[in-house]
Structure 1
Amino acid sequence: MKFSHFIKSFKEPMIALSNAPYRGGLTKANGFFFMMVHKNYSGNYKEDCRKFEEEHNLKNFVGFMTAADVEKVLAVAKRGSVTAYITAGITNPAIAGEEPPPWSPGTINIAVVIEEGLTVGALVNAVMTATEAKTYTLLTMGYKATGTTSDGIGVFAFEGDIEWAGTATRLGINIGKAVRKALEESIKKWSEL
């Protein structure tokens, strides 16, 4: 099986806030990647992502992993200064606060790139807005779930003075629209596989 992947390079470094398995947390990033792994993957994810970065001549990239066929499920949507990149696999839907179902591979990865200058607090606000948009999309598409048991999210922006990215702001509205559109498209692609 040939594994597919997606690499997004930035024109200049951006601040990143994510729960990505590779270079997660708060960091500066030159881009990000979605790396496909086998559905029963149980390897050393940090080492495998480091090798992936090295093999593709990347440096200081944030890395996400998924068992979904990246090439077939990737969806991208742009609204204003916001672009959402999403891969969805929903074989293990879960509801926050409830016992998860037996584990099976399936992940929603969301990378939100904001071409504006934000504070770290606004990055946190952007994560919240994107997560709300993800949950709303799942519910409206008929999934009784708030996500999957292994979702990944990252927000990327330039360092700046914008302090808010919630649903009352133009930036937050653009984040919500971009995430909703890309996630819906990715889920449709995934369900057709």
Structure 2
Amino acid sequence: MFAEPSLTHRREDGLDVPLLLWRFPEPLLAASSAVLGGGAGPREWLINASVAMSYARPDPDTHLAELATGLGLTGPGVGLLTGVDVADVVATDEDGVQVYATVGLGAPILAADPAAVGFDHQPGTVNIVVWAPQRLSDGALINMVATATEAKSQALADLGLAATGTATDAVCVLCPLDGPPAAYGGPRSRWGAPMARAVHRAVLTGGATNLATGRSWSGRAASGR
């Protein structure tokens, strides 16, 4: 069973800002698009930290590394940021796969929008953390990231949004380092299928709440972010 995250806070600019922290009992294999600890390899911890919707630091990786140091974390880990309150994390599970999603939809986009210009730095962000209980092959690990993204986009369509996500979404898929590897991670594979359903359910639930309440990390209405 994957370790549950703890909800903690950090003091910044006179405010208590929340973050989710996973300390893995043993190193896990990860594939992630995270700004800190992205790529593939062993990871020992993961944090998902709330930031203000006005967040504009040009060095989020350095910021996350500072947060990790402040928490006493050492070794390689994964760091995520979002403009929503991470206390609103949605946890789902299906057939041994566990999913945790923080869903901010204040700045939804279409990935292939021909009218898009430049990069949107708004940190509303959909962050998805996945745990699969079997070691995944290198290809399956990357395929699981793609499958999670497909399931997220399906959920956004079901929410009535003409969007594939936001400009700052991130995914992290984790599995054991050892054991016989599963070869596939697509939406009809042994672990990809239940993961897709769990991701879809988490994003659908979290997205509906975010669109209805507009909660940012501070609890202030922020146009659905």
**Same-fold call, TM cutoff 0.5:** yes
Q: Which has the higher helix share?
A: 1
**2:153 alignment partner in structure 1:** 135
**2:51 alignment partner in structure 1:** 37
Q: 2:134 aligns with which of 100, 116, 139?
A: 116
Q: Deviations over 1:70-101 (max 9, x none)?
A: 11x21111112211111111111111211348
Q: Deviations over 1:37-72 (max 9, x none)?
A: 12121222122111111111112220000111111x
1:189: how far off? 2.8
Report whether the alignment pairs 1:156 with 2:174.
Answer: yes
Report whether the alignment pairs 1:81 with 2:103.
Answer: no
Q: Between Structure 1 and Structure 2, whose CA radius of gyration is higher?
A: 2
Q: Deviations over 1:148-180 (max 9, x none)?
A: 111111111123411101122231111111101
Q: 1:20 aligns with which of 22, 34, 41?
A: 34
User: What is the rounded CA distance, in whole Å, between the counterparts of 1:181 and 1:129 in structure 2?
Assistant: 14
User: What is the rounded CA distance, in whole Å, between the counterparts of 2:154 and 2:61 in structure 1?
Assistant: 31
**1:165 alignment partner in structure 2:** 185
Q: Point out 4+ residue stretches in structure 1 off by more than 6 angstroms.
A: none
Report whether the alignment pairs 1:174 with 2:190.
Answer: no
Most deviating of 121-130 and 158-167: 158-167
Tell me, what secondary structure is at the counterpart of 1:117?
A: coil
RMSD of aligned Cα (Å): 1.6
Q: Which amino acid aligns with 2:83?
A: A
Identify unmatched segments of 5+ residues in structure 1.
none
User: What is the rounded CA distance, in whole Å, between the counterparts of 1:139 and 1:4 in structure 2?
Assistant: 29
1:31: how far off? 2.4
Q: Which amino acid aligns with 1:126?
A: M
Q: 2:143 aligns with which of 125, 146, 152?
A: 125
Report whether the alignment pairs 1:61 with 2:77.
Answer: yes
Alignment coverage as a number of residue pairs: 192
Tell me the TM-score normalized by structure 1: 0.93
Report whether the alignment pairs 1:50 with 2:65.
Answer: yes
Using the aligned pairs only, state the percent identity: 28
1:14: how far off? 0.9
1:27: how far off? 2.1
Tell me the TM-score normalized by structure 2: 0.80
Identify unmatched segments of 5+ residues in structure 2.
1-14, 216-225
Q: Which amino acid aligns with 2:62?
A: E
Q: Which amino acid aligns with 2:129?
A: A
Q: In 1, are the aligned partners of 2:126 and 2:169 still within 8 Å (CA)? A: yes
